[in-house]
C-alpha cells in the first residue's frame, strides 16, 4: 500500500477520522497498533507475523536488561537481541549475496560450486525496522532510556505505519514519550502537514516517477548513449532518488503529524552541501546519525591514538552503510567512495587551513566539487553492475560522442531548474506564506496545486526506491 495510491487515502482517511473521534489515549494507541499491522500485512501477512515476533522478543530482552544488574547476563541479552535482528536481516536480505560471492570466489580458485536455488521474499522495510529495534535494546542496555511501559506500547513503536517501511528511523527516546501522551494538533499544524504531504506527493509522483523511465534506459544500455545523455541521466538520477526518498519522508512526517506525532527531519537540502561530511549531515539524517551512534562510536569513533584509527572507523562505518543499502558490491563501493572522500577531505583540511578572505569563493567551489562527487558516486549506486557503471562513469568524466541514442532536451534543463527552485522555495519560505493564508484561501490554493499535480501524473504507480532496502 503506497502513500500515493487511492487505497492508502481511503485507509488513512478511516484511520484519521476514527483516531480523532476517540477521546481516550489508550483507545487511540490500540487503533494505531491494529492500523499499523493491517498496513504492513497488506504487503504480506507473513511480514506482519515476523515483525510481531521480533518486536515481542526485543521487548522481552529489554525487560530482562532492566531486571538484572549482573553485567554478564546483561551482555548476553543485548547480544542475543543484536544477533537475532542481524540474523533476520542477513538471511532475508543478504543470503543470496553472500552465497553468490562465495561461489564466485570458489570459482576463481578453481573450485566448482553451484548456488542453491532458494527463493527468499524480502520483507518490505526490513532494514529500517531492524535498525529501529536495535536502537531500543542497545539504548536500554546503555541505560539511556527505560523500557517501554507495556508490550502494546513497544509493538506500536516498532510498527508505526507512517515510517515503518522506509523511515525516518525513529529513536525510542524520541517517540515512546509521545505515545505516552494524548496528542493534540492545531489548525496551523494541520495546514503545515497537508502542505508537506502535497510537497512529498509532487516530488515522488510528478518528478521522480516521470523521469525514471529515461534513467532506466540509459543505465540499462549505457553503451548506446553519448556522454551528454549519460551525464544527463546521472543528474536525473540524482534528482530522482532525492525526490523519491525525500518525498516519502515528507509524506511520512505529514501522515504522522496529522495524528499529532512528530518524526525527525530526514533531509535538509543535501545537494547544497559544501563537503561530503556536510552532505551526510543533510542526507538521510536518521540513518547517518544511527550509523554514527551505533557503529562509528562503537568502533571507537575519534577516540583512537592517532587520526588513522579515526579514519579506519570512518571507512568501516561507511562500508557498512553502503552494504545496508543493498546486497551488491556496487553499494559497498558507493559507501567506500564516500568514506574515502571524507578521509581525503579531512587530510586536505589539515594541509590547507581555511582562508577567511576567500571564504565565499571557496564555499562555492566546495559546493560544486561536492555535488559532482555525489553525482559520480550515484552512478554505482544505480548501476546494475560494475560493467554498466564503469561505462557511465567514463562517459561522465571523458566526453564521448559515441552512442546514437539521445534524450529529450528538456531533461537536461530539469535538474538545475529544480535545484534553483529549491533555493527559491527556501528563500521565500513558500510553506509559511501558504499556511499563513486564511482557511478559504489555503483551501483554494491547495486544491489548485493538487489539480495541477494530478494532471502531471504518469501512468501507473512506481514503488519507492528505498522500499528495496
- Give the residue among 148, 146, 151, 141 at the shortest CA–CA distance from 70: 141
**Is residue 277 a contact partner of residue 345, using CB atoms and an 8 Å limit?**
yes
Cα–Cα distances (Å) from 133 to 123, 139, 150, 166, 245, in that order, read 15, 10, 15, 14, 22
Q: Give the pLDDT score at 160.
A: 95
Mean pLDDT of 261-289: 93
**Torsion angles phi and psi, residue 210, rounded to 5:** -75, -30
Least confident window among 125-139, 253-267, 412-426: 412-426
Residue 171 has what pLDDT? 93
Tell me the average pLDDT of the chain: 87
Hey, how many other C-beta atoms are within 10 angstroms of the C-beta on 102? Answer: 12
pLDDT score at 409: 66
Per the CB < 8 A criterion, the answer to whether 176 and 53 are in contact is: no
16-30, 255-269, 412-426, 447-461: segment of lowest average pLDDT:
412-426
> How many beta carbons lie within 10 A of that of residue 414, not counting itself?
18
* Model pTM score: 0.90
Question: Span 263-269, mean pLDDT?
Answer: 92
Cα–Cα distance for residue pair 362/121, rounded to 1 Å: 48
At residue 96, does pLDDT exceed 90? no
- Domain segments of the chain as ranges: 6-183, 188-468
Confidence category of residue 364, pLDDT binned at 50, 70, 90: confident
pLDDT at 406: 61
Percent of the chain's residues with pLDDT above 90:
53
pLDDT at 402: 61
pLDDT at 1 over 90: no
Instruction: For residues 104 and 10, give the distance between their C-alpha atoms in angstroms, rounded to a whole number.
Output: 48
Report the candidate in 82, 157, 90 with the shortest Cα–Cα distance to residue 123. Answer: 90
Closest to 399 measured CA to CA, from 240, 282, 226, 272: 226
Confidence of residue 114 (pLDDT cuts 50, 70, 90): low
Residue with cell 555535488: 371
Range with the lowest mean pLDDT among 45-59, 106-120, 216-230, 330-344?
Answer: 106-120
Q: What cell was used for 249? A: 519522508
Query: Which is the catalytic residue, given 96, 184, 221, 325?
Result: 325
* CA dihedral over 279, 284, 289, 294, signed as positive or negative: negative
Residue 42 CB neighbour total at 10 angstroms: 16
Can you tell me the distance from the alpha carbon of 130 to that of 151, in angstroms, rounded to the nearest whole number? 17
pLDDT at 381 over 90: yes
What is residue 93's predicted lDDT score, i.e. its pLDDT? 87
Query: What is the C-alpha separation between 177 and 158, in angstroms, rounded?
Result: 14
Q: Tell me: cis bond preceding 168? Omega within 30 of 0 counts.
A: yes
Overall average pLDDT of the 154-166 stretch: 93
Residues 81/98, Cβ–Cβ less than 8 Å: no
pLDDT for 468: 64
User: What would you report as the CA-atom Rg of the chain, rounded to the nearest whole angstrom?
Assistant: 23
CA 133 – CA 399 distance, rounded (Å): 47
> Residue 219 pLDDT > 70, yes or no?
yes
Over residues 394-453, the pLDDT tens digits come to 888 887 666 555 666 667 777 777 777 767 766 667 777 778 788 888 899 889 988 988
Cβ–Cβ < 8 Å for 41, 47: yes
Strand partners, 225: 405
Q: Residue 188: is its pLDDT beyond 70?
A: yes
Specify whether the CB–CB gap between 400 and 390 falls below 8 A. Answer: no
Planar angle of CA 84, 140, 125, nearest 5 degrees: 45
Res 141: pLDDT: 94
Is 325 an active-site residue? yes
SS3 labels along the chain: CCCCCHHHHHHHHHHHHHHHHCCCHHHHHHHHHHHHHHHHHCCCHHHHHHHHHHHHHHHHHHHHHHHCCCHHHHHHHHHHHHHHHHHHHHHHHHHHHHHHHHHHHHHHCCCCCCCCCCCCCCCCCHHHHHHHHHHHHHHHHCCCCCCCCCHHHHHHHHHCHHHCCCCCCCCHHHHHHHHHCCCCCCHHHHHHHHHHHHHHHHHHHHHHHHHHHHHHHHHHCHHHECHHHHHHHHHHHHHHHHHHHHHHHHHHHHHHHHCCCCCCCCCCCHHHCCCHHHHHHHCCHHHHHHHHHHHHCCCCCCCCCCHHHHHHHHHHHHHHHHHHHCCCHHHHHHHHHHHHHHHHHHHHHHHCCCCHHHHHHHHHHHHHHHHHHHHHHHHHHHCCCHHHHHHHHHHHHCCCCCCCECCCHHHHHHHHHHHHHHHHHHHHCHHHHHHCCCHHHHHHHHHHHHHHHHHCCCCCCCCCHHHHC
Other CB atoms within a 10 A radius of the CB of residue 171 amount to 20
Confidence of residue 63 (pLDDT cuts 50, 70, 90): very high
Query: Tell me, what's the pLDDT at 414?
Result: 74
Residue 376 vs residues 150, 382, 422: alpha-carbon distances, Å: 47, 11, 21
Mean pLDDT of 233-248: 92
Q: What is the predicted pLDDT for the residue at 22?
A: 93
d(CA 220, CA 233): 11
pLDDT band at 354 (very low <50, low <70, confident <90, very high): low
Residue 286 has pLDDT above 60, yes or no: yes
Distance between CA 345 and CA 273 in Å, rounded?
A: 14
Q: Which of 34, 73, 67, 56 is nearest to 133 (CA)?
A: 56
pLDDT at 159 over 90: yes
pLDDT band, residue 225 (cuts 50/70/90): confident
Amino acid at each position: 500500500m503506497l502513500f500515493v495510491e487511492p487505497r492508502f487515502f481511503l485507509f488513512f482517511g478511516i484511520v484519521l477520522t476514527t483516531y480523532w473521534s476517540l477521546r481516550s489515549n489508550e483507545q487511540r494507541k490500540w487503533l494505531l497498533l491494529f492500523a499499523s499491522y493491517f498496513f504492513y500485512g497488506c504487503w504480506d501477512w507473513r511480514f506482519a507475523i515476523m515483525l510481531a515476533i521480533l518486536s515481542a522478543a526485543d521487548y522481552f530482552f529489554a525487560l530482562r536488561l532492566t531486571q538484572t544488574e549482573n553485567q554478564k547476563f546483561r551482555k548476553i541479552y543485548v547480544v542475543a537481541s543484536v544477533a537475532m535482528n542481524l540474523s533476520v536481516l542477513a538471511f532475508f536480505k543478504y543470503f543470496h549475496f553472500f552465497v553468490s560471492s562465495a561461489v564466485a570466489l570458489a570459482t576463481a580458485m578453481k573450485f566448482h560450486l553451484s548456488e542453491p536455488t532458494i527463493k527468499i521474499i524480502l520483507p518490505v522495510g526490513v532494514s529500517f525496522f531492524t535498525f529501529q529495534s536495535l536502537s531500543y535494546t542497545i539504548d536500554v542496555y546503555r541505560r539511556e532510556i527505560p523500557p517501554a511501559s507495556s508490550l502494546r506500547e513497544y509493538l506500536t513503536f516498532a510498527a508505526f505505519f507512517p515510517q515503518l517501511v522506509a523511515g525516518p528511523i525513529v529513536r525510542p527516546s524520541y517517540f515512546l514519550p509521545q505515545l505516552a501522551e494524548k496528542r493534540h494538533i492545531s489548525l496551523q499544524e494541520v495546514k503545515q502537514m497537508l502542505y508537506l504531504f502535497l510537497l512529498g506527493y509532487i516530488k515522488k509522483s510528478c518528478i521522480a516517477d516521470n523521469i525514471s523511465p529515461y534513467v532506466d534506459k540509459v543505465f540499462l544500455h549505457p553503451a548506446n548513449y553519448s556522454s551528454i545523455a549519460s551525464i544527463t541521466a546521472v543528474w536525473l538520477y540524482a534528482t530522482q532518488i532525492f525526490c523519491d526518498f525525500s518525498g516519502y519522508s515528507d509524506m511520512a512526517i505529514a501522515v504522522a503529524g496529522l495524528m499529532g506525532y512528530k518524526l525527525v527531519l530526514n533531509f535538509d537540502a543535501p545537494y547544497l552541501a559544501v563537503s561530503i561530511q556536510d552532505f551526510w549531515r543533510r542526507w538521510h539524517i536518521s540513518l547517518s546519525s544511527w550509523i554514527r551512534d551505533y557503529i562509528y562510536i562503537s568502533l571507537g569513533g575519534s577516540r583512537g591514538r592517532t587520526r588513522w584509527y579515526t579514519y579506519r572507523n570512518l571507512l568501516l562505518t561507511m562500508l557498512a552503510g553502503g552494504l545496508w543499502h543493498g546486497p551488491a558490491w556496487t553499494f559497498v563501493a558507493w559507501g567506500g567512495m564516500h568514506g574515502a572522500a571524507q578521509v581525503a577531505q579531512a587530510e586536505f583540511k589539515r594541509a590547507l587551513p581555511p582562508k577567511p578572505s576567500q571564504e565565499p569563493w571557496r564555499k562555492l567551489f566546495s559546493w560544486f566539487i561536492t555535488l559532482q562527487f555525489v553525482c559520480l558516486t550515484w552512478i554505482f549506486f544505480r548501476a546494475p553492475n560494475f560493467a554498466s557503471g564503469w561505462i557511465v562513469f567514463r562517459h561522465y568524466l571523458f566526453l564521448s560522442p559515441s552512442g546514437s541514442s539521445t534524450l529529450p532536451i528538456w531533461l537536461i534543463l530539469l535538474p538545475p531548474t529544480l535545484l534553483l527552485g529549491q533555493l527559491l522555495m527556501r528563500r521565500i519560505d513558500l510553506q509559511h506564506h501558504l499556511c499563513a493564508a486564511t482557511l478559504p484561501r489555503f483551501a483554494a490554493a491547495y486544491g489548485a496545486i493538487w489539480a495541477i499535480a494530478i494532471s502531471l501524473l504518469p501512468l501507473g504507480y512506481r514503488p519507492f526506491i528505498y522500499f528495496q532496502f
